[in-house]
């Protein structure tokens, strides 16, 4: 089974404003509300791809209740720790005229250490050897930035695999525990290695160093320039697909879902990479943080081009 952990989920409010201007009155043309947060987004994509998962983490207040109701409507299994503190709301501004996407994210409310421990207790009571746990996104204020590293160690001890998608110190501390996959974007990877790499080959070589240190796979999203995929002894660069862009939010989560699906169905690495690129492209074609359609992903996979990189 796949478990997605979102300690700091959000209700994503996406608004469309053509010609959005700061310090001016702007009028909303379209609006939609979706349950969000990296782990929840990944579970939504998995659901669209026909793969089961269990979403867990922390939800609270009226916004948290709304997210749970949405997951029920989508038939996504979930088991969250429920608190009184309201789950945050994030604002996504899509400007189709200027081809810009602006995120305005709340930090989230402070939660107790007891609440965080309850999430881990739930996980440890359900996860068995061979399961995959996704630790994804930010954490609420007050939560230690070594939490993903510590949880990775605990989950590895019971034979589970851990896929990590985080940034900053959460990522830095998390990689020390040797997760089975990490998926930073180019800026997050630059923050991890301490410098930006100029070429695809340099990115692949830097990623390979982390593989040598014990990380199973490194997936680096380059946005509109594609992605680099590295595992033991192998590296592949795949191009990005040119598709109509409605929202860039959640494209990386869609790619992560593809890798989870590939692991669950024991697909080849190359097939998984094709699915990841196609799922990311399908995601940006959706409004807000809607789930992708499997039929769209399968169609887009036919256009994915890949090349091997020497490491």
In the annotation, is 23 catalytic? no
Phi, psi of 36 (to 5 degrees): -140, -170
> Burial, 28: exposed, middle or buried (Cβ in 10 Å; 0-12, 13-18, 19+)?
exposed
Catalytic residue among 12, 131, 165, 253: 253
Per the CB < 8 A criterion, the answer to whether 79 and 57 are in contact is no
Handedness of CA 179, 180, 181, 187 (dihedral sign): positive
List b or e across 234-243, with b for residues whose CB sees 16 or more CB atoms inside 10 angstroms: bbbbbbbbeb
**Beta bridge partners of residue 235, listed in sequence order:** 230
Handedness of CA 20, 26, 30, 31 (dihedral sign): positive
Per the CB < 8 A criterion, the answer to whether 203 and 238 are in contact is no
**Interatomic CA distance for residues 170 and 165, integer angstroms:** 9
Quickly list DSSP for 40-75.
HHHHHHHHHTT---EEEEEEEHHHHHHHHHHHHHHT
Cβ neighbours of residue 50 closer than 8 Å, sequence gap 6 or more: 294
Phi, psi of 199 (to 5 degrees): -120, 165
Kind of pairing, strands 2-6 and 54-60?
parallel
Active-site residue list: 253
């Amino acid at each position: 089974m796949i478990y997605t952990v979102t300690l700091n989920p959000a209700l994503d409010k996406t608004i469309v404003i053509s010609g959005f201007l700061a310090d001016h009155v702007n009028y909303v043309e379209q609006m939609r509300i979706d349950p969000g947060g990296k782990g929840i987004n990944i579970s939504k994509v998995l659901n669209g791809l026909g793969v089961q998962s269990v979403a867990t983490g922390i939800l609270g207040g009226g916004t948290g209740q709304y997210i749970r109701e949405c997951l029920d409507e989508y038939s996504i299994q979930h088991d969250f720790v429920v608190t009184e503190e309201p789950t945050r709301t994030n604002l996504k501004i899509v400007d189709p005229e200027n081809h810009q996407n602006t995120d305005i994210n709340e930090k989230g409310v402070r939660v107790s250490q007891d609440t965080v421990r309850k999430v881990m207790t739930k996980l440890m009571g359900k996860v068995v050897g061979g399961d995959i746990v996704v630790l994804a996104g930010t954490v609420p204020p007050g939560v230690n930035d070594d939490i993903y590293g510590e949880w990775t160690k605990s989950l590895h001890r019971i034979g589970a695999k851990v896929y990590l998608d985080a940034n900053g110190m959460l990522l830095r501390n998390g990689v020390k525990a040797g997760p089975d996959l990490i998926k930073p974007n180019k800026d997050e990877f630059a923050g991890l290695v301490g410098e930006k790499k100029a070429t695809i080959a340099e990115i692949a070589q830097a990623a390979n160093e982390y593989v040598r240190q014990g990380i199973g796979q490194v997936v680096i999203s380059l946005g509109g320039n594609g992605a680099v995929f590295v595992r033991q002894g192998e590296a592949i660069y795949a191009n990005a697909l040119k598709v109509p862009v409605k929202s860039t939010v959640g494209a990386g989560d869609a790619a992560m879902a593809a890798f989870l699906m590939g692991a669950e169905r024991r697909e080849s690495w190359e097939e998984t990479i094709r699915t990841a690129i196609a799922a990311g492209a399908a995601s940006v074609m959706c409004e807000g943080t809607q789930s992708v359609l499997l039929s769209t992903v399968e169609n887009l996979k036919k256009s994915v081009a890949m090349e091997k990189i020497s490491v």
